[in-house]
Each structure stands twice: as C-alpha cells, then as structure tokens.
Chain A
Amino acid sequence: MFEPFQYEFFVRGLIAATMVGGLCGLLGVYIVLRRMSYIGHGLSHAIFGGAVVSFVMSFNFYIGASIWGFASALLINATTRRRPTIGADAAIGIITTASFALGVALISRTSTFTRSFDAALFGNILAVDNRDLYAIAAVAGFTIIAVFFSYRQLLFTTFDPDVARYYGVPTGWIDTLFSLILAAVVVVSLQVMGATLIAAAIVVPPIVARLLTDSFHRMVAISTGLGAFCGLAGIWISYFIDVSSGASIVLLATAFFGAAMLYASVRDRLANAVPTAARG
C-alpha cells in the first residue's frame, strides 16, 4: 500500500496533484457560480498557444504562458462586459480557440520545433520536477492569500457584479485579480492534468459541493477539500491500476459526482415527502 512512496517522483507527483486539485476545486467554486464552467477548458487551450509562443521566442514557459492566459482571461471578461449580447460561453469559445489555433499555426510554421507538447495536452505527473513544485506552491500561496483577503468582495461580485459595484465593491479590480489567479492556476495545472482534463478538475468538485450544501462557505470548503483529495487519491490509485494520472483524478471526482447526485435525489425525495413552507 505504501510501496510507491519510496519513489521520489511519485511523492513529488502526489504533492503536486494534491495542491493542484485543491486549487482547481477552490477557484472552480467561483467559476461554476459565474456560469463560466467552460473557461477551464478554454483557458488551458489558450495557454497552449502561449506556451508555443514562449518556446518560439525562447521565453520562460511559466511567465510567457501566464501572461498569455491572463491576457486571454481579461479579454474574455472585457468582451462579455462591453458586449453583453455575446454571452460568456461564446466569448470563451472565440478567444481561447483563436489562441489555440495561433499555437498550432506557429508549430506548423516553425521547422525547428522539437519540443513535445504532449505533457501540456494530456499531463505527465512523472515529469514533475522541483521547479514545478515550487511554481505550484507559489501560485497556491498567492491564491490562498488573495482569496482570503478578498473573500467578501469576491463573493458579492460572484453573486451579483452590478449590485456589488453599487455597494462600493471594486468589481473591475476583483475581476482582474481573479483572471490573474485563474491564468496562473491553469498554467501550473497543465503539467499535472493536461489541457484536456483541467476543465473537469475545475468543474466537478464545486458541482459535487453544490449538490451537498446550500451555504457558500461550506461549498468552498467541500470543493477545495474534495479537489485536493481527488488529486491525492487519484495519483495513488493510478499507480496501482496503471492508468494516466490525470484520467484517474478525473474519474475519481466523477465517481464522487455520481454519489452526490444519488444522495441529493434521495434527500430531496425525503424532503418533499414532508410538507415545508413553500414560496408564495
């Protein structure tokens, strides 16, 4: 049972997956409640474009991809705000696929392109090195501090951005801060989850938490905890059943989703059996 812990790469992967799972679970709460679930999927693809540009320009991957992701997230927010007729989902679709396409175009134009982007697309937990761990830890630290100190404003902005502004909440700054954190989290998650599986890590834990509670505070706690647990247990299970770590994490989270759906159905059925005060 504890056999894999003798391998340094496994321990590094386990720590990375736990931190990334918790981070995705935490941010996912705000993303799901803003009805921007597709942004995790879209942004991870947009960042793929940024990663290619960073490589072509011989720029640091983390910094280049983060700037690219941040700019994409800001552009999505700005497009949605300036033109509400373009829904958030359409804005995400246009901007992120354009960014992804730019990356693909650059790869096809660059004959000297040698780097494999398989890890960025599908994740490779075995390749996590100490530099990746430090990057994840730095982003986790920054995210926790930022969410902690802007918790009330972030909640109000997520609940009703227009009214939050009328109550003095600097919603523009809050959105910018959130975009920055989101871009950074997606960048550091790429190595662990891969662009194709990040969306599930961001969406499934908060949805499970939402099925279990009607309280925002509890939803944040459950989603973060569940994300971290799925990261940890998913890696551990993947070692024994010999499947991709990202897939193992996502499948475990999906199993929790199925259980939560079942629980919520039974709970609601029992609640409906007892007459309660209904809306007038």
Chain B
Amino acid sequence: MLHPSAHDLGPDQAIIELRNLTCGYGRDVVLNDVSLRIAEGDFVGLLGPSGSGKTTLLRALLGGTTVHSGEVAVYGRTLNGDVPRVGYVPQLETVDWNFPVTVEQVVMMGRAMEGGPFPWNRSADRDRAREILERLGIGDLAKRHIRQLSGGQQQRVFLARALISSPKLLLLDEPTAGVDIKTRDDLLHLLDELNHQGVTVIMTTHELNAVAAHLAWVVCINGEIVAEGAPSDVFTPEILKRTYGAEMPIIKYQGLTLVGEQPHTIGRHEGVHAAGDRRATARPKTGAGDV
C-alpha cells in the first residue's frame, strides 16, 4: 500500500548522505559521481538493470566498497573504512544452503558481537529471537535446517537475523528475487509494516510494479543516478529507457503507475503466419491490453 513519503528533507534531516561518490571494487569503478540523500522513515527502492550498481550502492552504505572520490555519511558519520551498525539482508543466492545451521542459529548470528563472550546464547537474546520469528510467522521453524525451508521462509530467516539487534536502518539486497507473487507481496507488506514502525528501509529489486504498489520513493541507477522520486513521477518511458536501455510502456491503472512489457512480436508473427494460427495475430503490440 502507498503511504505518504517521509522523503521531504530539511537541510539536516538526511540519515544517509552520498556526496559525489565514485566507488567500486579495487580499481574498478561501478558507481560514478553519485549524490543521494535519504531521510529517516523512508522506504526506498533501488532499481536498475543487472550490473548497474544497485548492490554496490548498498555495500557503499556498509563501508564495503573502495571509495575513489566523494564520501558516504550514515547517521552523520562519514564512513572511513568502518562499518555502520545497520540491519543487512544479503542476496539469498550467496548463502551456502548446505552449511549445518538451524534457523535459530542463523538468527543468533545477528548477535555475534553483542551476545556476550561465551558460545551459548543469553536467554534475553533467545527470547528476542523467538519473538521475531513468531512475528515473521516462522516461529515453529526455529529448529529446522535452513535448507528445509521454502524461498519465502528463507528470506524471513535472514530478515529475522537483521532485525534481532533492532536496527533503525534496514538494507535488503533483492529480497523479492526467486519468490512467488504471494510471498513477494507478503514480504513487501512486512517491510511496509516495519517502515511504519519507524525503520528506514532501502532495498534493491527488479520488480518495478511491486515497487510501484508498495514503495513511496525509488532511485533509478545505471552506473550513476538516473532519477529519483515517487514511482508515479519516475516511471516514465524516457527515464526507464535511460535506466534499462529499453522501451518500456507505462500503464496507469487504478491510481497506480505500472510498467508493461514490450512483447517480442516480429518473430512470433512470422512463425504464426507460417503456421496459419489466426488467434496469435490478435495479440496486442504492447502490454497495455494485459492489465
């Protein structure tokens, strides 16, 4: 659901500030001269094609990139090789699913630095982990191995690990990748709920329409920031073409701005005529008719 943007920034209200940041890995530059300000309470989607620098931007906020010029400030502190304490959910494809850990053990990793010097968990941390797992709807899976879960449940486990230290800022790298529509919507509603409770959420995603339906602010990236704003302002054919390098039709539907797909019709028509299938010739040229 859409809610009023908290993005209206006064001069000193940004909790994240990138100032003319050029960064990457080693000598390779991925993001060039990026300036961005994000306010407390924002729910921001980072959009762009694969390799555009979405994940790099998230890692820049975590102090995980090589800064060539410019600077990154999180909560007013300029990062200088250090890591700010925020909640971070990595891409699930980077996880070793055969590693012998249960759901509970993964969640407790979020307290690796604060949970005391001993190998066992403090009872307060265990209670907190149970509470979060219950809240995320996977309380009964605490003793399961992570491989035994569905994609949506796995995503929630790593969200729980990020939430156990009650962060005010949550960074998620493609949380909607590889899950079905229902799971994706449930997850976005969950993030929306956390955002309403005061957590600032920044996520990368490829799901343009899910972003349009759930997020108040989006940033389009392609090696640099192409545009930022509300989805209704940013989702224009021009901006999307500059971001993705492809024609993408825009559809207005029940107050939402949605992005259609450009069907690849030439080959199909040729094939269709050859096969003499008349039904396929009625296929619309744009995705507009699909809505």
Interface pick from A153-161, A181-189, A262-270: A153-161
- Report how far A159 CA is from B96 CA in the complex, Å: 7
Set B106, B112, B148: member contacting A277, Cβ < 8 A = B148
Known: A152-B115, A215-B102, A216-B101. A280 touches B109 (CB 8 A): no
The answer to the question of B126 belonging to the interface, with a C-beta cut-off of 8 Å to chain A, is: no
In the bound complex, what is the Cα–Cα distance between A148 and B148 (angstroms)? 29
Q: Is B43 an interface residue (CB 8 A)?
A: no
The proximity string for B residues 53-83 relative to A, scoring 1 for CB distances below 8 Å and 0 otherwise, is 0000000001010000000000000000001
Which of B64, B99, B150 sits near A159, CB closer than 8 Å?
A: B99
Number of chain A residues whose Cβ lies closer than 8 Å to a Cβ of chain B: 30
Give the interface residue-count category, chain B.
35 or more
Pick the contact of B110 from A155, A167, A277 — CB < 8 Å?
A167
Could you say which of B105, B108, B113, B180 contacts A280, with CB atoms under 8 Å apart? Answer: B180
Question: Which residues in A have their C-beta under 8 angstroms from that of B115?
Answer: 152
CB proximity to B under 8 Å, residues A178-217? 210, 213-217
User: Given contacts A149-B117, A152-B119, A277-B150, is CB(A216)–CB(B105) below 8 Å?
Assistant: yes
Report the separation of the CA atoms of residues A214 and B113 in the bound assembly, to the nearest whole angstrom. Answer: 24
B-chain residues with CB within 8 Å of residue A215 when the two chains form the complex: 100-102, 105
- Name the CB-closest residue of A to B87: A167
Q: A169-B113, A210-B100, A215-B105 are in contact. Are A162 and B145 (CB under 8 A)?
A: no
Contacts of B149 in A (CB 8 A): 279
Per the bound structure, the CA–CA distance linking A183 and B64 in Å amounts to: 29
Instruction: Find chain B residues with CB under 8 A from A119 CB.
Output: none
Is B123 part of the contact surface with A, judged by Cβ < 8 Å?
Answer: no
Residue pair B64, A153 in contact (C-beta under 8 Å): no
In the bound complex, residues from chain B placing their C-beta under 8 Å from that of A217 are 105, 119
Find out whether the CB atom of A280 lies under 8 angstroms from the CB atom of B96: no
In the A-B complex, the 5 residue pairs with the closest CB atoms: A280-B150, A151-B119, A214-B145, A152-B112, A168-B113
Residues of B within 8 A of A (CB): 62, 64, 83, 85, 88, 90, 94-96, 99-102, 105-106, 108-113, 115, 117-119, 145, 147-152, 179-180, 183
| Sampled A-B contacts (30; CB under 8 Å) | A148-B119, A149-B117, A152-B112, A152-B115, A152-B119, A153-B113, A155-B101, A155-B109, A155-B112, A159-B99, A159-B106, A163-B90, A164-B109, A164-B112, A166-B88, A167-B110, A167-B112, A168-B83, A168-B85, A168-B112, A210-B100, A214-B101, A216-B99, A216-B105, A217-B119, A276-B148, A277-B150, A279-B148, A279-B149, A279-B151
Which A residues contact B (CB, under 8 angstroms)?
33, 148-149, 151-153, 155-156, 159-160, 162-169, 210, 213-217, 219, 276-280
